[in-house]
């Protein structure tokens, strides 16, 4: 990391230049309406850093009732917002790489004794675009040639009726990588 990038990281994020990871804990704030929550957390992501968020979905604990009033299925899914601070993320990205991409890694945290939630049930939207199912590893945006971009990322859970009941949790990590 060069001096300019290190100073920018320290000024904008309040972390030391050697920091390589930022973690946002979940909390018990009431849920926001779906489909596109207002970003509740602002983060700056630089080369060599990773933003890791533990996301919890607790259908029925917020403003959207569970079970839904109408039957839900693969063709008529029900949607629920993430709980706490991970409802939406305002992510400012700065990169010195010649050609970079914003990469998402997603991992479901299984509850002991229950089948794991399929990773594609966690969906994200970037800058108000349609929601996209998550995969274990995917490029979600290509950075412009300037190396600077801002993304508003909204998260939601898609239920089709065949997933394990109760609270679901996943760990999502964003990083800037050369493409």
Intra-chain end-to-end CA distance of the chain, in Å? 18
**pLDDT per position in the chain (179 positions), as tens?**
333 333 333 333 333 333 333 333 332 223 323 334 444 578 888 888 899 988 888 887 777 788 788 888 999 998 888 876 666 889 999 999 988 999 999 999 987 887 888 999 999 999 999 999 999 999 999 999 998 999 999 999 999 988 877 788 899 999 999 88
At 174, list the tokens: 């964003």
Instruction: Give this prediction's pTM.
Output: 0.73
Going by the DSSP 8-state scheme, the letter that residue 8 receives in this structure is H
Residues in the chain, overall count: 179
| Alpha helices, H only, the chain | 3-13
Q: What angle do CA 83, 87, 90 make, to 5 degrees?
A: 150
């Amino acid at each position: 990391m060069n001096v300019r990038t290190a100073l920018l990281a320290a000024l904008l994020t309040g972390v030391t230049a050697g920091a390589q990871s930022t973690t946002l804990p979940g909390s018990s704030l009431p849920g926001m309406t779906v489909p596109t929550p207002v970003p509740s957390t602002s983060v700056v992501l630089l080369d060599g850093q990773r933003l890791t968020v533990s996301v919890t979905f607790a259908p029925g604990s917020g403003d959207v009732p569970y079970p839904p009033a109408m039957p839900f299925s693969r063709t008529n899914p029900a949607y629920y917002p993430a709980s706490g601070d991970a409802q939406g993320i305002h992510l400012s990205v700065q990169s010195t790489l010649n050609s970079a991409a914003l990469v998402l890694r997603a991992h479901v945290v299984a509850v002991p004794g229950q089948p794991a939630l399929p990773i594609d049930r966690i969906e994200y939207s970037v800058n108000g675009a349609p929601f996209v199912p998550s995969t274990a590893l995917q490029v979600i945006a290509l950075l412009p040639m300037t190396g600077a971009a801002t993304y508003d990322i909204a998260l939601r859970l898609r239920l089709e009726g065949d997933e394990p009941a109760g609270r679901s949790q996943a760990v999502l990590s964003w990083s800037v990588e050369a493409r």
